[in-house]
Structure 1
Amino acid sequence: MISDFFHPNVGGVENHIYMLSANLLRRGHKVIVVTHSHPPDRVGVRWMLPGLKVYYIPFPTLVSSATLPDFLTFLPYFRTIVLRERINLVHAHASLSSLGHEGILHAHLMGVRTVFTDHSLFGFADAASILTNKLLEAMLRNVDAAICVSHTGRENTVLRANLPPEDVYVIPNALVASQFKPAPVAPPSHTITIVVVSRLAYRKGVDLLVAAAPRICAAFPNVRFLVGGDGPKLIDLLQMREKHFLQDRIELLGPVRHRDVPNVLIQGSIFLNTSLTESFGIAILEAACAGLYVVSTRVGGVPEILPEDMISFANPTEDDVFRAMAEAIAIVSRGDHDPHRAHERIRGFYDWGQVAARTEIVYRAVMASPPRELWTRIERTLALGPFAGLIFTIILAVDCLFFMFLEWWLPREDLDYVDCEWDLGRFGKIVQETRLNPDAQRRH
C-alpha cells in the first residue's frame, strides 16, 4: 500500500488503507504500507496492529499532507523496499498522492504489478482540475487495474484518466459496525440535535450550512446543532453564530479525533451532510450505523450509500436543504426512524472482510494478466498528446536510466532482505502479555 495519506493523520483514505491492510493480513497476505514521515519523530519503520509494517519515508509535505512530486528521489527508497520485502503488487491510493503516482511509475521497472484506488471526485472545467486530470491520465496510463468506491466515482475516473472501463472496478468503503452503536434507549426528549462532523472546507458545503442553519433554528425552536471539525470555514460558522445570537443553539466542538466520533454521533438524532462533491461519504455511513437519520445533498456517490427510507436528499441550495431538514425533523419527531434497526441493517450492508475479499479478486486478476513491455508503455505514454506525451515519455526514459544506475550502484545481492514472515499469532500474544505485565512490556 502506498499513499501520502496515512496515519497518524486522520481521514477517510487513511482509515480505508489501514482497514483494508489489516483484513488482507488476516486473510494470509503480506502487506506493508509506504508513506511520508511526520515530524518530529515519525520516520523510519513502525509497526501497527495487527502486525502491519509501515515505512515512513523522510520526505516533507508540500500542502494538504501531500509530498512534492519529484519522480526520481523516491526511486532509491522504493526500489530498496520492494526488493528487500519481495513485493509483487503495489496498490496506490488517492489522486492527489504524489507518492502513489510515483510508486505506479517505478513499479513496472521491477516487474511489480499495480492497482490504483481513487477516493475522490474532480471536475473538468477549472484550471486545477484540468492539470490534475492530465497528471492522473499520465500516471495511470500503464496501471494494471483501478478501483473506485462508487459507480459515480468510476464514471468520473474513467473520463478523467481515459481508462478502459473494463479495467476499473467498484468496491465501496466499509466500517466496523461495532464501533458505531446507537445510544441506549432513553426517555423521549423534546430537543432534536442535528450533528455535523466534517472538515470545514468549501467542498464540504459549509457555506450551505452557514446559510441554512439560522433558518432551521428560527423555524424549529426545539432544534440544536452540534458541529465537529476544523478547517478554513470555521470562521464563517463563528461569525454566523455571533450574528444571529445562536451561541446556545449551535455548539462548535472543533477538531474531533476519529475514536471520539461515535460519542459525538450518539448525541444526535439527525446527521447533516452538505457536501458539494463526494465520491462515497464514509461519515454518512458511520452516522447511519450510529442510528441517526441522514440528510444529505444529492451529489456524487452519496445516493448509492443508504436505502431511501434512511436518508432525505436535497439539491445543493439553501432552500432545498431547509426543505429536506424540515422533512427529517418531522420523521424523527413522529418516531418513524428506529436507530437500532438502522444499525442492524448497516451491519449487514458493509463489512471490511467483504471489501478485502473483493479487492483480493482484483489482485488475482491483475497477477494473472500479461505484463506490459517497456516499448508498449512508451507507446501508450506518447499517446497522451504531442506536448504531455513527450514530457512524460522523457520522465519514463530518465526513470529507466536512473533505475539502471541504481542496479549498478546498489546491487541487489548487497541488499538486506527480509527473510522471515511476521507471526500474527505470536504478535497477538505479545500484545496481550504487555497489556497485563509491565515487565513484559519493557522486555518486548
Structure 2
Amino acid sequence: MRVLMFGWEFPPHIAGGLGTACYGMTRGLARNDVEVTFVMPHAYGDEDQRFVRVVNASDVEALFGSVDSGSEELLQKMSFIRIDSNMVPYVSPEEYAEYHEKYVRTGQRVWEHGDVWKRRYVFSGKYGANLMEEVARYAVVAAQVARYMEGRFDVIHAHDWLTYFAGIAAKRVSGKPLVVHMHATEYDRSGENINTQTYAIERAGMHAADRVIAVSNLTRNIVITKYGVPPEKVVTVHNAVRFAENQGAAPERGLDDKIVTFLGRITYQKGPDYFVEAAAKVLRRVPNVRFVMAGSGDMMNHVIRRVARLGIADRFHFTGFLRGDDVHRMFQLSDVYVMPSVSEPFGISPLEAMRSNVPVIISKQSGVAEVLDYAVKVDYWDVDAMADAIYGLITYPALSRMFAAKGLEEVTNLKWNDAAAKIKAVYEAAIAEQNNRK
C-alpha cells in the first residue's frame, strides 16, 4: 500500500508533539508494509528518511493561470492580511534570462504551458503571522504533487488543520480517498473562544474526508459533537511512544534536591499556571525541591511574574524550548513529571517520561489517561490534589519506585507498530468503501 501524507513538521525540526507522532507513525507504517511519501512545507534535508520519503513543498513548482477549480475554490475561501515575508514566487537570474530571451524571440510566454506560469513558493514551515496564507498555498502545491504522483499512491493522509486543505486539493485532483488525522481541535487550543477560521478549516477537512482518525475517545467525542461528523466515520487510534535506539547514560545531577518537571508549550491549553500554584503548595511542605518548566509560549511572562509573586523564584527554573536529546536528558534528571493540561487530545510527553523510568502525574482531561493505569490522575484545576500527588511521589520512595516500574512496563506495550496496523486498517476501509461506490 502507498500513502501520500501531508504534514507540517518532522523531526528533528519540531514545535510540539505533532512532528514526534508523525515520525513514530511513519516508522510503524513502514514496518506494516506501507510506503509513505511525506510532504511538508519546508524540509531541511537532515530528516531521517530511512522509513519515509520526505518531499519539500518549497521545491515543488505549482501551475498558476489554469489552476484546477478545486484549488481555486479553496483560495477564494481564504482571506489574507498581506505582510512582508519571504514567501514569494521566484526564479533564478539564470532562469529569468533564458525565459526572457525566449519570450523576446518567439513572443511566447516563458513556460511551455501556454498561458500557464509556474511558480515556486518558499514556505517557512513555521507557525507565524502568515500561517493562513501558507495553509492556502500549501493546498495549491499539494494539488500539483498529487498530479505529478498520479498512479503512485492509494490513499491520502493529512495531519491536523494545517494540511486539511492540502488533503482536499489532492483528493480532488487524484480521486483517491482522504483520511484526516485530528491531533488537536480548536476547542483544545482555545477553549470556547475559538478561532472561527481555523474551526471552518477543521470542519471542512473532516467532512470532506472518507475517514477521520482521532487520537483519543475524548477527541472523537469533540469531533462528533462540535463538528457534526458522522460517528461511523470517526475512528480512535491512540498514539504510542518510540524507544530511542541509544538511551545513553543518565547525566550527572550535581544536586540532591528533587526535580519536578513540566515540559510543553507554555499556553492556556497546557495548564502551566496550575503547575505553578501546585509547586508553591509543595514548597511550603518540602523546601528541597526544584521545579523545572521546559518550553515556551504566550503565557511565559505571566508565569514568570506569578512565580516571583509567590516568592518561589529561587526554586523555579525556565529552560526554554527543548528538543531531541535535551528532552531525553531532562526526563532522566527528573524525579516526577507533571502534565496538568486543561484539554489534551492525547499527550505523548508522559509516555516519554515513563520510558525514562519517571513516575508521572497527568490531568484527567487528557486522552493519554485512557490508556494509562499507572499514572496519577488529577483534575487540572485541583491544585491541592496535584500538590499532594507531587508530595507523595517525592517523599515516599517505595511509591515512586512502584509507579516508575509499573509505568515503564505499561508504556513498553504501547508500540507505534500496533498503532500503525490500526491506521493501515483505516486506509483499507476507506479504499474498500470507495471501490464499492464505483
Structure-1-length-normalised TM-score: 0.72
Q: RMSD of aligned C-alpha atoms?
A: 3.4
Please state whether the residue corresponding to 1:128 is helix, strand or coil: coil
Assess if the C-alpha contact under 8 Å between 1:181 and 1:289 holds in 2: no
State the partner residue of 2:42.
37
Of 302, 312, 318, which aligns to 2:383?
A: 318
Please state whether the residue corresponding to 1:279 is helix, strand or coil: coil
* Counterpart Cα distance in 1 of 2:235 and 2:410: 25
State the partner residue of 2:141.
77
Q: What displacement does 1:322 show?
A: 2.5
State the partner residue of 2:6.
2
Of 143, 166, 170, which aligns to 2:232?
A: 166
In the TM superposition, what whole-angstrom CA distance separates every residue of 1:100-153 from its partner, at most 9, and x where no partner exists?
323224413321110011011443974525553343222322311010111111
* Counterpart Cα distance in 1 of 2:239 and 2:233: 19
State the partner residue of 1:64.
127
Q: What percentage of residue pairs aligned between the two structures are identical?
A: 21
Does the C-alpha gap of structure 1 residues 343 and 34 become closer, same or farther in structure 2, counting only changes over 3 Å? same
Does the C-alpha gap of structure 1 residues 303 and 46 become closer, same or farther in structure 2, counting only changes over 3 Å? closer
Q: What displacement does 1:194 show?
A: 0.8
* Counterpart Cα distance in 1 of 2:246 and 2:355: 6
Does the C-alpha gap of structure 1 residues 331 and 133 become closer, same or farther in structure 2, counting only changes over 3 Å? farther
Assess if the C-alpha contact under 8 Å between 2:160 and 2:182 holds in 1: yes
Q: How many pairs does the alignment contain? A: 365
Does the C-alpha gap of structure 1 residues 60 and 100 become closer, same or farther in structure 2, counting only changes over 3 Å? same
Partner letter of residue 311 of structure 1? V
In the TM superposition, what whole-angstrom CA distance separates every residue of 1:289-345 from its partner, at most 9, and x where no partner exists?
2122212222142421310x4323234243343233334344446555253443232
Q: What displacement does 1:288 show?
A: 1.7
Unpaired segments of 5 or more residues in structure 2? 59-120
Assess if the C-alpha contact under 8 Å between 1:177 and 1:346 holds in 2: no
Assess if the C-alpha contact under 8 Å between 2:241 and 2:411 holds in 1: no
State the partner residue of 1:50.
51
Unpaired segments of 5 or more residues in structure 1? 375-444
Of 141, 162, 180, which aligns to 1:116?
A: 180
Partner letter of residue 176 of structure 2? V
Of 253, 260, 265, which aligns to 1:199?
A: 265
Does the C-alpha gap of structure 1 residues 370 and 247 become closer, same or farther in structure 2, counting only changes over 3 Å? closer
In the TM superposition, what whole-angstrom CA distance separates every residue of 1:379-420 from its partner, at most 9, and x where no partner exists?
xxxxxxxxxxxxxxxxxxxxxxxxxxxxxxxxxxxxxxxxxx
Partner letter of residue 50 of structure 1? F
Q: What displacement does 1:165 show?
A: 0.9
Please state whether the residue corresponding to 1:266 is helix, strand or coil: helix
* Counterpart Cα distance in 2 of 1:182 and 1:136: 40
Assess if the C-alpha contact under 8 Å between 1:136 and 1:160 holds in 2: no
Assess if the C-alpha contact under 8 Å between 1:312 and 1:328 holds in 2: no
Assess if the C-alpha contact under 8 Å between 2:186 and 2:194 holds in 1: no
Of 156, 165, 168, which aligns to 1:101?
A: 165
Partner letter of residue 14 of structure 1? G
Q: What displacement does 1:359 show?
A: 0.8
State the partner residue of 2:243.
177
Q: What displacement does 1:217 show?
A: 1.3
State the partner residue of 1:24.
29
Please state whether the residue corresponding to 2:266 is helix, strand or coil: coil
* Counterpart Cα distance in 1 of 2:290 and 2:31: 43
Assess if the C-alpha contact under 8 Å between 1:271 and 1:292 holds in 2: yes
* Counterpart Cα distance in 1 of 2:326 and 2:342: 25
Assess if the C-alpha contact under 8 Å between 1:180 and 1:262 holds in 2: no
Partner letter of residue 19 of structure 2? E
Q: What displacement does 1:27 show?
A: 3.2
Assess if the C-alpha contact under 8 Å between 2:348 and 2:368 holds in 1: no
Assess if the C-alpha contact under 8 Å between 2:295 and 2:320 holds in 1: yes
Please state whether the residue corresponding to 1:337 is helix, strand or coil: helix
Q: What displacement does 1:282 show?
A: 0.5
* Counterpart Cα distance in 2 of 1:290 and 1:229: 19
* Counterpart Cα distance in 2 of 1:190 and 1:254: 23
State the partner residue of 1:258.
324
Partner letter of residue 178 of structure 2? T
Partner letter of residue 342 of structure 1? G
State the partner residue of 1:15.
20
In the TM superposition, what whole-angstrom CA distance separates every residue of 1:62-91 from its partner, at most 9, and x where no partner exists?
972583258875455323322333223110
Of 346, 355, 368, which aligns to 1:289?
A: 355
Please give the residue correspondences for 1:26-425 in structure 2 after superposition, counting only pairs within 5 Å: 26-37=31-42, 42=44, 48-57=49-58, 58-60=121-123, 64=127, 67-69=131-133, 73-74=137-138, 77-85=141-149, 86-95=152-161, 97=162, 99-123=163-187, 126-178=192-244, 191-307=257-373, 309-332=374-397, 335=400, 337=402, 339-348=404-413, 350-370=414-434
Partner letter of residue 352 of structure 1? W
Structure-2-length-normalised TM-score: 0.73
* Counterpart Cα distance in 2 of 1:268 and 1:62: 32
Does the C-alpha gap of structure 1 residues 132 and 24 become closer, same or farther in structure 2, counting only changes over 3 Å? same
